[in-house]
């Protein structure tokens, strides 16, 4: 690693060989000329969202993301800023792609509130981020739907969750038997544009042991460009609580959406 001399005044780090690199810039809505300064603005594709600014949780505009190929491709799908001279994160220059602001922390707090314990990803990946539209051609949610449709024993739980056995076995109470589940979109939101949500639940090497539970996985897209990827451990008696948990995640995105955002004055009236 190259030793760096950090200059707070310039916002740059200078290496011994004279090379400079931009430091991550913390978001500060107070510097914005546009929009509501209580919020930071974030873009996924041509869709814009706003999230209540929390100074206790630093968010940065990191230059390193430009070297991440997935971010570069996703960023290209975002229209030019209304005012690129505004700091990124302002209304006229939304934060571009990357992770959904503050959502990881929200999901952990929400899980604890609904389920009653700490969210355990069990080594899996739980991320909420902007995605490329082309990835919609290979949605995980659709493959999980097909698994459920091929299930050999299906029933509807008291919560309304549909559950189907998808591996060998007939004992509904034996959770070593993999299963697929469906949460109808009407239980998640009144928003008409969303899809039903499909999940899989299966046993891994750690499953079934005391305190470990089983693995829940799913991917779910909203507004074409926002992807919610979940992988966490769950106990059978907690399955019905998936409805309020995912309702909260979906609501976090829907409530932040700005459906009438205009990328330029030329868009007005459309």
Asked, for residue 270, whether it belongs to a domain, the answer is no
**pLDDT digit string (tens) for 103-129?**
999 999 999 999 999 998 876 778 888
Rounded Cα–Cα distance for residues 222 and 228 (Å): 8
My answer on whether 175 and 147 are in the same domain is yes
Asked, for residue 9, whether it belongs to a domain, the answer is no
My answer on whether 107 and 90 are in the same domain is no
Residues of the domain holding 138: 103-256
Asked, for residue 5, whether it belongs to a domain, the answer is no
My answer on whether 24 and 107 are in the same domain is no
My answer on whether 74 and 54 are in the same domain is yes
| pTM summary value | 0.84
Asked, for residue 268, whether it belongs to a domain, the answer is no
My answer on whether 122 and 76 are in the same domain is no
Asked, for residue 1, whether it belongs to a domain, the answer is no
My answer on whether 89 and 107 are in the same domain is no
Residue 67: which pLDDT band, with cuts at 50, 70 and 90?
A: low
My answer on whether 72 and 132 are in the same domain is no
Structural domains in the chain (count)? 2
For residues 242-255, average pLDDT: 97
The residue ranking higher by pLDDT, 259 or 70, is 259
3-state secondary structure of 190: coil
Rounded Cα–Cα distance for residues 107 and 138 (Å): 25
Asked, for residue 81, whether it belongs to a domain, the answer is yes
My answer on whether 66 and 88 are in the same domain is yes
Domain end among 64, 96, 128: 96
Quick one: CA torsion of 18, 24, 29, 33, rounded to 10 degrees?
40
In the predicted model, is pLDDT for residue 1 greater than 60?
A: no
Q: In this predicted structure, what is the pLDDT of residue 3?
A: 32
Q: In this predicted structure, what is the pLDDT of residue 6?
A: 30
Domain end among 96, 113, 144: 96
Q: In this predicted structure, what is the pLDDT of residue 56?
A: 87
Asked, for residue 4, whether it belongs to a domain, the answer is no
Q: Which two tokens stand for residue 176?
A: 């070593």
Rounded Cα–Cα distance for residues 150 and 83 (Å): 51
Rounded Cα–Cα distance for residues 137 and 20 (Å): 40
My answer on whether 221 and 172 are in the same domain is yes
Domain end among 79, 96, 113: 96
Rounded Cα–Cα distance for residues 61 and 79 (Å): 18
Q: In this predicted structure, what is the pLDDT of residue 119?
A: 92
Strands 95-96 and 39-44, sheet pairing: parallel
My answer on whether 28 and 137 are in the same domain is no
CB 111 within 8 A of CB 245: yes
Q: In this predicted structure, what is the pLDDT of residue 266?
A: 67
My answer on whether 169 and 218 are in the same domain is yes
Q: Which two tokens stand for residue 199?
A: 């999940």
3-state secondary structure of 120: coil
Asked, for residue 28, whether it belongs to a domain, the answer is yes
CA 230, 188, 252, 79 dihedral sign is: positive
**pLDDT digit string (tens) for 158-167?**
999 999 999 9
Residue 69: which pLDDT band, with cuts at 50, 70 and 90?
A: low
The residue ranking higher by pLDDT, 48 or 208, is 48
Rounded Cα–Cα distance for residues 256 and 75 (Å): 20
My answer on whether 235 and 161 are in the same domain is yes
Q: In this predicted structure, what is the pLDDT of residue 31?
A: 92
Rounded Cα–Cα distance for residues 53 and 58 (Å): 9
């Amino acid at each position: 690693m190259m030793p760096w001399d950090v200059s707070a005044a310039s916002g740059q780090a200078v290496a011994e060989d004279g090379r400079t690199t931009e430091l991550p810039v913390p978001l500060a809505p107070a510097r914005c000329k546009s929009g509501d300064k209580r919020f930071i603005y974030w873009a996924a594709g041509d869709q814009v969202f706003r999230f209540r600014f929390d100074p206790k949780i630093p968010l940065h505009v990191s230059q390193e993301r430009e070297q991440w190929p997935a971010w570069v491709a996703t960023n290209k799908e975002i229209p030019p800023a209304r005012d690129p001279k505004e700091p990124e994160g302002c209304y006229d220059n939304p934060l571009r792609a990357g992770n959904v602001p503050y959502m990881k922390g929200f999901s952990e707090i929400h899980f604890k509130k609904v389920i009653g314990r700490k969210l355990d990803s069990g080594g899996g990946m739980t991320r909420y981020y902007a995605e490329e539209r082309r990835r919609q051609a290979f949605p995980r949610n659709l493959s999980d739907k097909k698994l459920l449709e091929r299930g050999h024993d299906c029933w509807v739980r008291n919560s309304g969750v549909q559950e189907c056995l998808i591996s060998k076995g007939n004992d509904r109470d034996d959770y070593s038997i993999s299963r697929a589940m469906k949460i109808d979109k009407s239980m998640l939101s009144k928003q008409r544009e969303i899809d039903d949500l499909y999940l899989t639940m299966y046993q891994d090497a750690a499953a079934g042991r005391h305190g470990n539970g089983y693995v829940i996985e799913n991917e779910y897209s909203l507004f074409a460009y926002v992807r919610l990827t979940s992988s966490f451990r769950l106990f059978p008696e907690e399955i019905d609580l998936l409805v309020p948990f995912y309702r909260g995640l979906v609501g976090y995105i829907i409530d932040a959406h700005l459906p009438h955002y205009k990328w330029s004055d030329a868009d007005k009236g459309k």
